[in-house]
Amino acid sequence: MPDEKAADTKKVEETTVKSQHHIAINGQDVRYWATAGTMLLKEEDGTEKAAIYYTAYTRQGIDDLSQRPITFAFNGGPGSSSVWLHLGCLGPRRVQLERDGQPLPPPGELVDNDCSILDQTDLVFIDPVSTGFSRAVPGQEEHDYHKFESDITSVAEFIQRYTSRNKRWHSPKYLAGESYGTTRAAGLAKHLQMRDGI
């Protein structure tokens, strides 16, 4: 049998995978980078708390990132990843549906989304802790991130780290939430302005 205690202490690592693509939106050929990654959240002393999974789409050929908007998007919760806004509405690829909006029979299909807003803004889809592939690290409690304040704090920390690592401090920033995500967006806007200066 596998050693469960050893599995519980397995080190969580940050990962990033990047590829390039293009799509036609509003008659434009929009070339972009797709980045899927996991970012670690840490205490001030460096103790790891959680791994946040995200998918980012950034337009290529932008000379001045300070003029290029960036939108951080998420669905409701706790319990909902960003998949619905990502593959159902805003992202450059979407799930193919029947003409009446019903899903196709399995296994389904992804198609280009010519209604994506990627021509106007870069997009970062965030899965809050315990949704999608985002998890608390071993030894931390998932349910601790389901409270309003801790949810806001963890998503804000991700946005701050992403902004710093990708040199997007001067970019216009937007928050897009659905269902409970609208409440999260309101709390984040206040938190980020007051504490992080974003």
Reported as a single tens digit per residue, the pLDDT across 105-131 is: 898 899 999 999 999 999 999 999 999
- What pLDDT does residue 195 have? 79
Query: Tokens representing 3?
Result: 């050693």
Query: Tokens representing 96?
Result: 């193919």
- What pLDDT does residue 194 have? 86
In a domain, 2, yes or no: no
- Rounded Cα distance between 149 and 99, Å, is 41
Give the pTM: 0.91
Task: Kindly tell me if the per-residue pLDDT of 16 is higher than 90.
Answer: yes
In a domain, 189, yes or no: yes
How far is residue 61 CA from its own chain's centroid?
22
Task: Please state the domain count of the chain.
Answer: 1
Per mean pLDDT, which range of 10-14, 115-119, 140-144 is the poorest?
10-14
How far is residue 25 CA from its own chain's centroid?
22
What CATH number is associated with residue 190? Answer: 3.40.50.1820
- Rounded Cα distance between 150 and 184, Å, is 11
How far is residue 56 CA from its own chain's centroid?
7
Mean local confidence (pLDDT), 127-147:
91
Containing structural domain, residue 62: 32-196
In a domain, 17, yes or no: no
In a domain, 20, yes or no: no
In a domain, 26, yes or no: no
In a domain, 140, yes or no: yes
Query: With contact defined as beta carbons under 8 Å apart, do 56 and 35 qualify?
Result: yes
